[in-house]
């Protein structure tokens, strides 16, 4: 703030100088006009000839000022000098601007800057307008202007340093709480994500501190989720890895080819389970961390679901499961939602894999796509005729690593969590219900409802 004050000070002095010039000129301009009006009374017509009668009173009027010189001139309509100074500069205005109207201008007479008052006299007893000018040097005006400047500058020389000092003290006092806040933040431990105390902070930065506290709260929740995720992931990987090690040690001791083959089969199943868990973990991490950074495009949901179903046919045939698709072959372009094709395909694949895993041999799995042309709403459904999920556990199965009780299916408990995460990133909602509520095997129908005519904003990409 000191730099702007120092820059404004010369500007203030310059403005004061111009104002002082105007203030000093006004009273002297009025006096000069009065003198001109008094001298015009001495212009007379003598038998058609203009004359200027310079009496003693007029001489005293022209010599009344000891500090400034006064010049005058009287010129008739023909441009002949009647009285006064012959080298007086003529005005630039047209003659006869109005009877008795007095004009003012700045000019130079004999090398001196003067203030000139002039008028044209258009009397009936003269042969035309008579020009009369009275000029006065600017000594008194400059003296008065300088006095005004001194009267303004001297207080400014005192007030400006005092203002700078007061501003400095105010800023130091005002910034002290910010310095204390900075020290409190710097003194924090790296793992301390508790909110900043808002009782002793300046009011001006209260919204900033509140925003920081909100960020710390969300960061703490995110780190807590990551720690829990890593702990659960380590626990999930520990079991298949331990099984691999045990089966490998047993295989090394076996001499019977049949037992050795059984151990190798166990190793193969354990490695497949570990691979599946790792793939699921990577898919969930990609959905949570990089889904928003991946490119998005218009997606034909019908074709995407058909592609996933065709890829899953070999697994369905191996498990003797009837896997099918119901819906249009392709969607019209106006119903294509915005999304990331990799993530959406991963979501559909997890729904289909989850249904194939839990419906059991001889089961039926159906994937379908429903669409409403008028509202633009699209619904992806994957249903099976398996044991289903109890209603009180449907929110829990959306959490990572949670598995419904009573199932003997190998899995990591991440499939539906991945579906939930990808659906949220695309502005969609996930709903679960019984596919066959009238049967003993109620089955499960998972519906993913996409928003109408979803765009980039709704998709969150």
Residue 56 within any structural domain of the chain: yes
Domains held by the chain: number: 3
> Are both 91 and 122 inside the same structural domain?
yes
pLDDT at 411: 52
> Is 446 found in the same domain as 312?
yes
Q: Between 431 and 163, whose confidence is greater?
A: 431
> Of 239, 266, 286, which residue is a domain's last?
286
105: left (phi over 0), alpha (psi -120 to 50) or beta: beta
Q: Are residues 317 and 451 in the same domain?
A: yes
Whether residue 54 is contained in a domain is answered as yes
Decide if 170 is inside a domain.
no
Shared domain for 315 and 416, answered yes or no, is yes
Q: What is the pLDDT of residues 235-259, one digit of tens each?
A: 556 656 776 777 787 777 777 787 7
Measured CA distances, 161 to 92, 156, 170, 203, 310 (Å): 49, 8, 14, 29, 84
In the predicted model, is pLDDT for residue 400 greater than 70?
A: no
Same domain as 272, residue 228: yes
Whether 188 is in a domain gets the answer no
| pLDDT winner (highest mean) among 219-233, 238-252, 254-268 | 254-268
For residue 15, how many other CB atoms are within 10 A of its CB? 12
CA dihedral 138, 72, 28, 116 (to 10 degrees): -70
Are 17 and 112 in a shared domain?
yes
311 and 367 fall within a common domain: yes
Q: Spell out a b/e string for 413-442, using b for 16 or more CB atoms within 10 Å of the CB, else e.
A: bbbbbbbbbbbebbbbebebbbbbeeeeeb
Does the structure show a pLDDT above 70 at 191?
A: yes
pLDDT of residue 393: 82
Distance of CA 420 to the CA centre of its chain: 32
- My answer on whether 361 and 454 are in the same domain is yes
pLDDT of residue 367: 92
Domain with 280, as residue range(s), is 208-286
Q: Would 198 be classed as within a structural domain?
A: no
pLDDT confidence of residue 457: 39
| Ramachandran category for residue 128: left, alpha or beta (phi over 0 → left; psi -120 to 50 → alpha) | left
Task: Note whether residue 184 is domain-resident.
Answer: no
Are residues 264 and 300 both part of a single domain?
no
User: Is the overall model pTM greater than 0.75, yes or no?
Assistant: no
Tens digits of per-residue pLDDT, 82-141?
888 888 888 886 665 566 688 889 899 888 889 999 988 876 555 678 888 999 888 888
Q: Which two tokens stand for residue 439?
A: 């049967």
**Cβ contacts of 98 within 8 Å, gap of 6 or more:** none
What's the CATH number where 390 sits? 3.30.565.10
Which of 286, 303, 336 is the C-terminal boundary of a domain? 286
Domain-embedded: residue 354: yes
CATH number, domain containing residue 216: 1.10.287.130
| Boundary-marking domain end, from 123, 146, 169 | 146
Residue 379 in domain: yes
Dist. CA 244–CA 153, nearest whole Å: 92
Q: Residue range 148-157: average pLDDT?
A: 78
Q: What is the mean pLDDT of residues 228-240?
A: 64
Q: In terms of domains, do 455 and 308 share one?
A: yes
125 and 224 part of one domain: no
Mean pLDDT of the chain: 79
Give me the CATH number covering residue 76: 3.30.450
Mark whether 110 and 39 lie in a shared domain: yes
Strand partners, 286: none
Among residues 26, 29, 36, which one has the least CA distance to residue 62? 36
């Amino acid at each position: 703030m000191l730099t702007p004050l120092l820059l404004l000070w010369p500007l203030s002095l310059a403005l004061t100088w111009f104002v002082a010039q105007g203030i000093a000129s006004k009273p002297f301009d009025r006096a000069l006009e009065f003198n001109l009006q008094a001298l015009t009374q001495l212009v007379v017509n003598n038998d058609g000839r203009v004359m200027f009668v310079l009496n003693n009173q007029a001489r005293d009027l022209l010599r009344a000022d000891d500090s400034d010189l006064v010049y005058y001139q009287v010129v008739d309509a023909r441009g002949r000098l009647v009285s006064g100074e012959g080298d007086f500069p003529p005005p630039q205005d047209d003659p006869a601007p109005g009877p008795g109207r007095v004009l003012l201008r700045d000019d130079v007479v004999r090398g001196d800057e003067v203030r000139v008052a002039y008028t044209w006299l258009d009397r009936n007893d003269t042969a035309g307008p008579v020009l009369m000018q009275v000029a006065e040097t600017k000594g008194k005006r400059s003296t008065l202007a300088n006095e005004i400047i001194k009267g303004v500058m001297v207080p400014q020389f005192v007030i400006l340093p005092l203002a700078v000092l007061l501003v400095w003290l105010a800023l130091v006092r005002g910034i002290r709480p910010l310095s204390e806040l900075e020290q409190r933040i710097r003194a924090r431990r790296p793992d301390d994500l508790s909110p900043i105390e808002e009782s002793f902070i300046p009011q001006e930065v209260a919204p900033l501190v509140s925003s920081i506290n909100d960020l710390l709260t969300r960061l703490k929740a995110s780190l807590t989720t990551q720690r829990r995720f890593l702990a659960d992931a380590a626990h999930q990987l520990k079991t298949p890895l331990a099984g691999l090690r045990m089966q490998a040690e047993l295989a090394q001791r076996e001499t019977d080819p049949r037992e050795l083959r059984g151990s190798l089969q166990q190793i193969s199943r354990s490695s497949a389970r570990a691979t599946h868990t790792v793939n699921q973990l990577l898919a969930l991490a990609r959905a949570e961390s990089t889904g928003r950074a991946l490119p998005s495009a218009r997606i034909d949901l019908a074709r995407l679901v058909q592609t996933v179903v065709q890829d899953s046919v070999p697994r369905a045939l191996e498990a003797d499961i009837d896997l099918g698709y119901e819906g249009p072959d392709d969607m019209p372009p106006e119903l294509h939602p915005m999304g990331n094709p990799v993530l959406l395909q991963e979501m559909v694949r997890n729904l289909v894999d989850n249904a194939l895993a839990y419906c059991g041999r001889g089961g039926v799995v159906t994937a379908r796509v429903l669409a409403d042309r008028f509202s633009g709403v699209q619904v992806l459904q994957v249903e099976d005729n398996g044991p289903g999920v109890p209603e009180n556990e449907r929110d829990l199965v959306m959490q990572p690593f949670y598995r419904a009780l009573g199932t003997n299916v190998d899995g990591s408990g991440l499939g539906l969590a991945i579906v939930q995460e990808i659906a949220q990133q695309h502005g969609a909602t996930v709903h679960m219900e019984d596919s066959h509520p009238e049967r003993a095997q109620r089955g499960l129908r998972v519906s993913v409802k996409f928003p109408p005519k979803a765009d980039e904003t709704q998709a969150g990409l």
